[in-house]
């Protein structure tokens, strides 16, 4: 398109008509470029004088062009196996008031599409070639006219491929097909989730890596995908050894018995390789479970961590690209996709744009797309962030590559998400043992007769070049490579669990040994430095204007530390962050309302009256670590997955995710079940994410009482998690510091308080912060004479303070209250020591405020029930965590306390 008329790209024909009328009334009333356009337009009137209204016909051509741009994707040749549904109105000339009589008439409107003044015939041919061929473009909903202009200019470029390139595409298509046939023959009936029907994804990825690393010097690619085609990409794209893949098909065990492993098409893989020009690139395929799109936020989190650490927090970095490979049914059916797209442009979560590739099989397991979604396209979710979408016939490999070039260029130019919808099919059933003709007999009759993309492209190239013996040679050579890998697999005794991101975790060994788990680490910190840090983070800048309550709060915090040498929960938390930052550690805190804190306790970020944001934790000293605090969107699944991914790459960063209320963790249950609790055991990956889950019965109803402790304890095994319910600020302070001081990493689940944030007895001394340590079990500090103790009460969390108040009110000297602070791994040896210490005890109680079927009771009974004759004091079993009536809540709590101190 001539730059002279680039202003016409994104304007509607009705707007042109309005401007034309203004021009006719007064040529000087419109902008100069419009004036020139209309002048040329008027000069052409005599060329089609047969028309009754020459102005109208030019506008009709403009309308035609606009319709091709907005609706051309409905009339493409993008479906290799089905006839397209009919869309009305069509792009027939008659629908625009035009006819064949004017096909040879020259129109100024040709300038709108970059071919200058031209005949209607050439205009239509040009539009058909761009908008109605093997690529359908959706982009006219984009609100930025410059983006629309950029997209249209891009598609006016001529792209041709060299002979060598075409041979390479053919080679990769051959590998994709032959690998599947080889496995199908050697391992009859085994699941492999074949790539066939969308094999063009293999050369597409290869060319994406090549194009991006050469043109933009990209060096890092983070890939997420589900099981369809995964084994093929592992072998033929990521270059995992064929013998290892075939060995996995043979069902051999892993040598490392500490890992359960996973099915072969869920495993992750990291590969460093060179592109064709010798440039080093790193590719990581993130391990995933069968929750297909759950890997999406993990990929984004890893990418953001790499941007922050390796690429100097440049969220528009061209050095790294996240690539998400979706299935069509999962893309349109799973809400996590929406959550991830909403993160894509937010300050704390953006990654400079994701390239989304859809392996569109046009079916979900046995479900047709008409049953699986309400939208026209599976990619319609993309429109919430106004991403362009290319729908491509997956059988047309050169169109696929062209779409890949566009996706890369758009991502790099605008640093936003872009979608390429590869419309293909699925050759077999959901897996190779499934019979698709049960549910789609007609479709699979067509598919059974349809040639592969390889055969189609081979035929096309042979027609162009004639019979080429090199093709047969290429086919034979790859067959030999597969056979060699198969023969070698027979000599492999054990399967190898390839570690993911191994280089980043070299200094953090996987630890299961209980002694190492309980080994004390030094979390002490000089008291003088604590005081200095307190002054830095609790002193507001005097030149700024703050809300009166803010000034009072920070003044109170400063006095608490400096004058009284005390710390409540929020002070201890902020000092834990401050001391770690002072030691050079970095911190990321993310979640709903974390900057202030749900319960208005944290105030990590403070705002002036002019709403300037100030983060005093980043102003401790020159050269300190940096803390990033981000309020997240109202999402648990997506944001928890993102922060888990962030922690997956950053063992030296304290990464915390806080739920607004503990029960909101339910929304991220898939991430908790499939990644946080089991990732180490399945995939040999380590992670140090911290989950902060407010928990405690305050009479606020069933929704915000319980963080569901019992569910996390069901996931505990082989020392995979730390599960903690602290009752003192100092223990929480040392716990957070311990998380970074350990020489290994485990996810840490912390049940944090609500009412205890301001409880007068929930206070620690600064000396305890400076000189203390984390204590897994807290003995009763108020027992004066051990021999007087007749009753032991074991508990965990907030109920301790209620038990303590009751004990003090009745002046009970015969009861000791012992707190389980670290629930898992449980320090059973310490519990036994305490039982032996109180050798005059007559009864041992377990007291909890959660119903009998919830909380810690089942776990405690399983762990200690055979050795300790516990008597349970709790509310009766219930299907709901708590009552919705405050008076009923008080009654239940009082009954617990009365029973706990009942004297028989």
Beta carbons of 705 and 698 less than 8 angstroms apart: yes
Round to whole Å and give the CA distance between 338 and 352.
Answer: 17
Beta carbons of 654 and 739 less than 8 angstroms apart: yes
Closest CA to 776 of 831, 815, 844: 831
Give tens-digit pLDDT for 713-770.
999 999 999 999 999 999 999 999 999 999 999 999 999 999 999 999 999 999 999 9
Q: Check the CA dihedral 807-812-813-815 and report its sign.
A: negative
Six-digit token string for 267? 């495993």
As a whole number, mean pLDDT of residues 607-617 equals 96
- Other C-beta atoms within 10 Å of 324: how many? 24
- Other C-beta atoms within 10 Å of 785: how many? 9
Please state, for a pLDDT cut of 70, what percent of the chain lies above it: 96
As a whole number, mean pLDDT of residues 469-492 equals 93
Round to whole Å and give the CA distance between 194 and 233.
Answer: 11
Band of the pLDDT at 683, cuts 50, 70, 90?
very high
Range name among 21-25, 80-84, 159-163, 626-630 with the lowest pLDDT average = 21-25
- The residue among 430 and 749 whose pLDDT is bigger is 749
What's the chain's average pLDDT? Answer: 93
Six-digit token string for 817? 């209250």
User: Chain centroid to CA 28: how far?
Assistant: 54
Round to whole Å and give the CA distance between 831 and 837.
Answer: 10
Give the Å distances, CA to CA, from 141 to 144, 392, 400, 648: 9, 19, 23, 37
Phi, psi of 438 (to 5 degrees): -60, -40
Round to whole Å and give the CA distance between 173 and 237.
Answer: 12
pLDDT of residue 35: 75
Beta carbons of 169 and 400 less than 8 angstroms apart: no
Closest CA to 391 of 375, 409, 376, 379: 379
Round to whole Å and give the CA distance between 269 and 246.
Answer: 16
Give tens-digit pLDDT for 504-514.
899 999 898 89
Range name among 10-14, 115-119, 178-182 with the lowest pLDDT average = 10-14
Give tens-digit pLDDT for 331-386.
999 999 999 999 999 999 999 999 999 999 999 999 998 899 999 999 999 999 99
Closest CA to 351 of 323, 317, 328, 374: 317
Phi, psi of 631 (to 5 degrees): -70, 125
As a whole number, mean pLDDT of residues 83-93 equals 90
In degrees to the nearest 10, what's the CA dihedral of 93, 94, 98, 103? 50
In degrees to the nearest 10, what's the CA dihedral of 309, 310, 311, 313? 0
* pLDDT at position 440 over 90: yes
**Which pairs count as long-range contacts for 17-21, CB under 8 Å and 24+ apart, including other chains?**
17/59, 20/55, 20/59
Q: What is the largest CA-CA distance in the chain?
A: 116
Beta carbons of 315 and 416 less than 8 angstroms apart: no
Range name among 48-52, 81-85, 360-364, 829-833 with the lowest pLDDT average = 48-52
Residue 863 neighbours by CB under 8 Å, 6+ apart: 826, 828
Give tens-digit pLDDT for 284-340.
999 999 999 999 999 999 999 999 999 987 878 899 999 999 999 999 999 999 999
**CA end-to-end span of the chain:** 94
Band of the pLDDT at 50, cuts 50, 70, 90?
very low
Closest CA to 798 of 838, 759, 842: 759
User: Chain centroid to CA 498: how far?
Assistant: 22
Phi, psi of 327 (to 5 degrees): -95, 150
pLDDT of residue 4: 46
- The residue among 85 and 655 whose pLDDT is bigger is 655
As a whole number, mean pLDDT of residues 243-263 equals 87
Q: Check the CA dihedral 796-798-802-808 and report its sign.
A: positive
pLDDT of residue 25: 87
Q: Check the CA dihedral 698-703-704-709 and report its sign.
A: positive
DSSP 19-81: HHHHHHH-GGGS-HHHHHHHHHHHHTGGGGTTSS-HHHHHHHHHHHHHHHHHHGGGG-S--SS
In degrees to the nearest 10, what's the CA dihedral of 97, 99, 103, 109? 0
As a whole number, mean pLDDT of residues 589-611 equals 96
Residue with tokens 């979604």, as numbered in its chain: 373
Round to whole Å and give the CA distance between 124 and 590.
Answer: 52
Round to whole Å and give the CA distance between 131 and 68.
Answer: 6
Closest CA to 629 of 547, 549, 684, 573: 573
As a whole number, mean pLDDT of residues 71-82 equals 95
Helix (H, G, I), strand (E, B) or coil at 844: strand
Band of the pLDDT at 159, cuts 50, 70, 90?
very high
Beta carbons of 736 and 577 less than 8 angstroms apart: yes
Give the Å distances, CA to CA, from 290 to 251, 322, 377, 425, 566: 19, 20, 23, 20, 49
As a whole number, mean pLDDT of residues 60-68 equals 95
pLDDT of residue 320: 97
pLDDT of residue 20: 80
Beta carbons of 439 and 364 less than 8 angstroms apart: no
Residue with tokens 């080994």, as numbered in its chain: 519
pLDDT of residue 769: 98
Element (H, E) at 767: helix 766-771
Helices (H), 72-162: 120-131, 145-154
Round to whole Å and give the CA distance between 834 and 830.
Answer: 6
Band of the pLDDT at 48, cuts 50, 70, 90?
very low
Give the Å distances, CA to CA, from 495 to 194, 230, 233, 246, 485: 22, 18, 19, 10, 14
* pLDDT at position 248 over 50: yes
Give tens-digit pLDDT for 841-884.
999 999 999 999 999 999 999 999 888 999 999 999 999 999 99
Round to whole Å and give the CA distance between 393 and 399.
Answer: 7
Count the helix, strand and coil residues of the chain and give each as a percent rounded to the nearest 5: 45, 15, 40
What DSSP designation does 273 have?
E
Round to whole Å and give the CA distance between 28 and 35.
Answer: 8
Round to whole Å and give the CA distance between 372 and 785.
Answer: 70
Round to whole Å and give the CA distance between 743 and 517.
Answer: 10
pLDDT of residue 135: 98
What angle (nearest 5°) sits at the alpha carbon of residue 30, between those of residues 29 and 33?
145
Band of the pLDDT at 7, cuts 50, 70, 90?
very low
Beta carbons of 748 and 722 less than 8 angstroms apart: yes
* pLDDT at position 84 over 90: no
As a whole number, mean pLDDT of residues 564-584 equals 98
pLDDT of residue 816: 98
Phi, psi of 689 (to 5 degrees): -60, 145
Band of the pLDDT at 3, cuts 50, 70, 90?
very low
What angle (nearest 5°) sits at the alpha carbon of residue 665, between those of residues 661 and 668?
145
* pLDDT at position 12 over 60: no
């Amino acid at each position: 398109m001539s730059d002279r008329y680039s202003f016409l790209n994104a304007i509607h024909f009705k707007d042109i008509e309005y401007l034309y009328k203004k021009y006719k009334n007064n040529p000087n009333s419109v902008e100069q470029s419009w004036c020139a356009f209309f002048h040329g337009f008027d000069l052409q009137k005599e060329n089609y004088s047969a028309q009754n209204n020459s102005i109208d016909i030019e506008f009709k051509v403009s309308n035609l062009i606009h319709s091709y741009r907005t609706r051309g994707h409905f009339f493409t040749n993008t479906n290799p196996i089905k006839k397209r549904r009919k869309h009305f109105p069509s792009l027939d000339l008659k629908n625009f008031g035009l006819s064949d009589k004017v096909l040879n008439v020259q129109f100024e409107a040709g300038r709108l599409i970059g071919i200058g003044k031209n005949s209607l015939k050439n205009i239509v041919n040009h539009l058909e070639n761009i908008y109605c061929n093997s690529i359908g473009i959706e982009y006219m909903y984009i609100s930025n006219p410059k983006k629309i202009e950029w997209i249209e200019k891009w598609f006016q470029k001529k792209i041709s491929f060299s002979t060598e390139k075409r041979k390479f595409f053919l080679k990769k298509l051959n590998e994709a097909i032959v690998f599947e046939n080889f496995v199908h023959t050697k391992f009859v009936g085994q699941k492999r989730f074949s790539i066939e029907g969308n094999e063009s994804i293999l050369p597409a990825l290869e060319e994406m890596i090549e194009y991006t690393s050469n043109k933009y010097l990209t060096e890092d690619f983070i890939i997420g995908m589900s099981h369809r085609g995964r084994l093929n990409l592992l072998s033929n794209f990521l270059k995992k050894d064929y013998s290892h893949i075939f060995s996995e098909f043979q069902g051999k065990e892993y040598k490392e018995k500490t890992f359960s492993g996973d099915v072969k098409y869920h495993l992750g893989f990291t590969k460093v390789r060179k592109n064709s020009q010798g440039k080093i690139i790193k590719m990581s395929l993130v391990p995933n479970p069968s929750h297909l799109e759950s890997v999406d936020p993990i990929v984004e989190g890893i990418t953001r961590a790499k941007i922050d650490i390796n690429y100097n927090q440049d969220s528009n970095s061209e050095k790294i690209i996240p690539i998400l490979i979706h299935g069509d049914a999962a893309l349109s059916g799973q809400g996590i996709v929406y959550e991830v797209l909403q993160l894509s442009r937010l300050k704390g979560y953006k990654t400079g744009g994701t390239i989304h590739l859809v392996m569109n099989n046009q079916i979900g397991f046995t479900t047709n797309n008409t049953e699986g979604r309400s939208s026209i396209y599976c990619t319609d979710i993309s429109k919430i962030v106004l991403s362009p979408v290319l729908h491509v016939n997956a059988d047309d490999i050169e169109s696929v590559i062209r779409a890949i070039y566009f996706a890369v260029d758009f991502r790099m130019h605008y640093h936003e998400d872009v979608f390429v919808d590869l419309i293909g099919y699925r050759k077999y059933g959901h897996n190779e043992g499934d019979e698709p003709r049960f549910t789609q007999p007609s479709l699979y009759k067509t598919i059974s007769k349809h040639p592969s993309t390889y055969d189609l492209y081979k035929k096309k190239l042979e027609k162009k070049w004639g019979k080429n013996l090199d093709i047969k040679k290429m086919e034979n050579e790859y067959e030999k490579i597969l056979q060699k890998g198969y023969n070698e697999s027979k000599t492999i005794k054990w399967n190898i669990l390839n570690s993911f991101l191994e280089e980043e975790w070299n200094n953090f060994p996987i630890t299961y040994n209980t002694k190492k788990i309980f080994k004390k680490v030094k979390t002490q910190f000089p008291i003088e430095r604590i005081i200095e840090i307190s002054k830095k983070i609790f002193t507001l800048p005097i030149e700024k204007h703050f809300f009166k309550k803010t000034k009072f709060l920070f003044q109170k915090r400063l006095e608490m530390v400096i004058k009284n040498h005390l710390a409540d929960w929020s002070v201890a938390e902020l000092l834990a962050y401050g001391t770690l930052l002072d030691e050079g550690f970095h911190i990321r805190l993310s979640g709903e309302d974390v900057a202030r804190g749900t319960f208005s306790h944290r105030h990590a970020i403070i705002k002036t009256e002019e709403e300037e944001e100030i983060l005093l934790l980043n102003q401790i000293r020159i050269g300190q670590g940096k803390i990033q605090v981000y309020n997240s969107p109202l999402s648990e699944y997506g944001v928890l997955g993102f922060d888990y991914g962030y922690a997956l790459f950053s063992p030296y960063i304290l990464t915390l995710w806080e739920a607004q209320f503990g029960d909101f963790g339910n929304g991220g249950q898939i991430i908790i079940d499939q990644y946080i609790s089991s990732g180490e055991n399945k995939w040999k990956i380590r992670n140090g994410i911290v989950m902060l889950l407010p928990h405690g019965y305050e009479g606020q109803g069933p929704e915000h009482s319980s963080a569901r402790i019992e569910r996390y304890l069901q996931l505990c095994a082989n020392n995979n998690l730390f599960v903690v319910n602290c009752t003192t600020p100092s223990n929480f302070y040392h716990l957070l510091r311990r998380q970074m001081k350990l020489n290994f990493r485990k996810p840490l689940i912390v049940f944090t308080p609500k009412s205890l944030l301001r409880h007068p007895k929930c206070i620690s001394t600064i000396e305890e912060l400076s000189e203390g340590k984390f204590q897994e079990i807290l003995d009763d500090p108020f027992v004066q004479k051990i021999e007087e103790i007749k009753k032991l009460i074991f508990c965990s969390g907030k109920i301790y303070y209620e038990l303590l108040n009751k004990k003090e009110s009745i002046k009970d000297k015969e009861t000791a209250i012992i707190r389980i602070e670290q629930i898992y791994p449980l320090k059973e040896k310490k519990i036994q020591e305490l039982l032996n210490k109180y050798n005059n005890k007559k009864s041992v109680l377990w007291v909890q405020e959660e119903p009998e079927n919830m909380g810690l009771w089942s776990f405690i009974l399983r762990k200690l029930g055979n050795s300790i004759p516990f008597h349970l004091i709790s509310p009766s079993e219930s299907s709901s965590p708590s009552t919705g009536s405050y008076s009923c809540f008080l009654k239940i709590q009082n009954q617990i306390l009365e029973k706990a101190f009942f004297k028989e």
